[in-house]
Amino acid sequence: MEENKSKDIWITLTTILLIVLIGTVVFFWQNYKRLKSSNTEPQVQKLVEEEKPVDNNVAGTIAPSPATASPDTPNPTPSEENKTEVIFVSNGLFTEEEKVELYEKLIEPFLDFQKDSNIQTLTLEIEKSSLQNAGYKYKVSYINKGGSKGGLLFGLNIPLEWWLPECLNGCSFSDSFKEKYPEIVEQLD
């Protein structure tokens, strides 16, 4: 009798456990898409970066940097083929002051030099570097028209240093580049 009672308790507990397990599986199966999208949307929103097109034209105008843009000033509308997509990864990690300084000392000189070298940069991605212990604040990646890719580490000093091109046989700068960025030209001459 005692043995049957013990056996009945085990069967009852196993049945309850099995019902709970099946119910949980059915619940998650029915709500998978809803749970997946609601859990990942905030994470995706955090990772979606500010995409700021910049006119890649040395003699032309650069799309306003975050500090100079105002609602009253219309943005220039250059042709689509001259735009570079600038992406900050993860956008929330960058202050407006950092973005302004990056535009002034890295992004605009880099894109202008590329343009002078007849290289069209399609995307420029800037993220906080995991190598901050080595002194670098930013990791920069870019993709040029034609598929060539490159990257660099940037940001050794506070305030930021100017980006300097790496030229094998000395750099040749256009007159407009020399006029716009005398700080860079002085360091490489």
Q: Is the pTM of this model over 0.75?
A: no
- 51 to each of 39, 165, 166, how far by Cα in Å? 24, 24, 27
Q: Give the whole-angstrom CA distance, residue 151 versus residue 72.
A: 35
* Mean pLDDT (10-residue bins), the chain, 189 residues: 80 92 85 60 45 40 42 43 80 82 91 89 87 76 90 82 84 88 85
The packing angle between helices 2-30 and 32-47, to 10°, is 50
Q: What DSSP element (H or E) covers 170? A: none
Distance CA 173, CA 186 (A): 11
For strands 51-55 and 83-89, give the pairing.
antiparallel
Amino acid at 133: N
What's the pLDDT score for residue 110? Answer: 92
CA angle (163, 167, 169) in 5-degree steps: 155
- The region that residue 70 occupies, defined by phi over 0 for left and psi between -120 and 50 for alpha, beta otherwise, is beta
Domain extents in the chain: 2-43, 49-188
Q: For residue 44, what pLDDT is reported?
A: 44
For 108, the enclosing helix (H) or strand (E) is helix 108-116
The token pair that represents 74 in the structure block: 């219309």
Q: Which pLDDT value is given to residue 111?
A: 92
Alpha-carbon span 184 to 171, nearest angstrom:
11
- Residue 29 is predicted with a pLDDT of 80
